Amino acid sequence: MRRYSAFAIAREAARYHTGWERAWAAPEPKAEYDVVIVGAGGHGLATAFYLGKNYGITNVAIIEKGWLGGGNTGRNTTIIRSNYLQDPSAAIYEKARSLYETMSQDLNYNVMFSPRGVMMLAQTEHEIRGYQRTAHANALQGVTTEFISPERVKELVPIIELKGPRFPVLGALWQPRGGTARHDAVAWGYARACSDMGMHILQKCEVTSVQQEGGNVTGVTTTKGEIKCKKLAILVAGNSGHLAEMAGFRLPMESVALQAMVSEPIKPCMDVVVMANTVHGYMSQSDKGEMVIGGGTDGFNNYTQRGSFHHIEETVRALVETFPMVSRLKMLRQWGGIVDVTGDRSPIIGKTPLGNTFINGGWGTGGFKSIPGSGWAMAELVAKGEPGELSAAFGLDRFKEGRFIDESVAAGVAH
């Protein structure tokens, strides 16, 4: 694989861009792999990349029923932060945030990481106490956050209205090194690096059954034939329950739609990410000038990837009071993704009842921001067969033992 560089761009310009290679190969599946990863989204591709980079395991197939990055990786609002309350959550999200900072260099692919800062508004007295508690917890965890005054909020976000009659802004939890990245570029960068290591990315290849013998996985049946494997990793977000059922076990999670939208492009007016949990809305401005807007998950289980009118009404109505300018914008497009949500709003990373089969899911609304940290932890689990420090607390057994990692406030709405 040729490295991307300013010199390469100049060279290809001189020969009318006829020398560019495919970013990743499109191979036919082999009969057997050491590891089969189901799901070629951000989490699956990151797991494959760190399997190769950290453990030298490259006989890997990443299977995707649709197209690469076409699930939640390409359907989110690109926010990256690590200001979670519980220690295990803060550790894995902070690992992810730190890996995002060097990802472009590590992958030789510009993922457009923008550490513009993430702000979570406190609009009730209860939220003030909650965010101050989180700021103290983050200080102990080594995560840089602070609780800031309304005046500082206005300084950072001039377009905000502090004195809304129902929901005035009383302060905010501020993480200056949070931000955004280009979601498609994250998937493409990982895919390019995995392909360069000799891994096979198999698109339009749906898993239809999981083969097992003597309590251990032996392979999968797909629309492109049977593929044997020594280890199986399931990273399919909202479809985790379906794959688990194929493998013969159940998961304590449910699938719901999470919707978002973008406005028409406008001139730069907001260079930070703002979240408002009380009114269920959050917003940032993309590099193209669009206002990227999202809210809470749908209130009922479903697998739709479409938008709906009730989401537009609920989310925009919530934001208009805090950002009056939203009322004058035209919506450009709207979409939905399928998120898998656990009871404690924390992910599952661990072994399953089927031997040599591992699950990574239940990220709910925190999927994109966790991609590199999730991949790092999952790669260690798959390579060693046992959870490492980052993933030890997130196993399936915590539901049987009552060791919940309650992040319902930190993860329930704000992404």
Q: Give the pLDDT mean for 391-413.
A: 84
Q: 299 CB contacts (<8 Å, ≥6 apart)?
A: none
Distance CA 218, CA 200 (A): 18
What is the per-residue pLDDT for 47? 98
**pLDDT value at position 307?**
82
Q: Is the pLDDT of residue 409 over 70?
A: no
Q: Is the pLDDT of residue 412 over 80?
A: no
Instruction: Check residue 414 and give its pLDDT.
Output: 41
Question: Average pLDDT of 46-54?
Answer: 98
Environment class of residue 398 by beta-carbon count within 10 Å: exposed (0-12), middle (13-18) or buried (19+)?
buried
pLDDT band at 141 (very low <50, low <70, confident <90, very high): very high
Summarize the chain as % helix, strand, coil (round to 5).
35, 25, 40
Amino acid found at 99: L
Domains of the chain are 26-109+183-252+344-411 (3.50.50.60), 118-180+255-342 (3.30.9.10)
Q: pLDDT tens across 196-236, in order?
A: 999 999 999 999 999 999 999 999 999 999 999 999 999 99
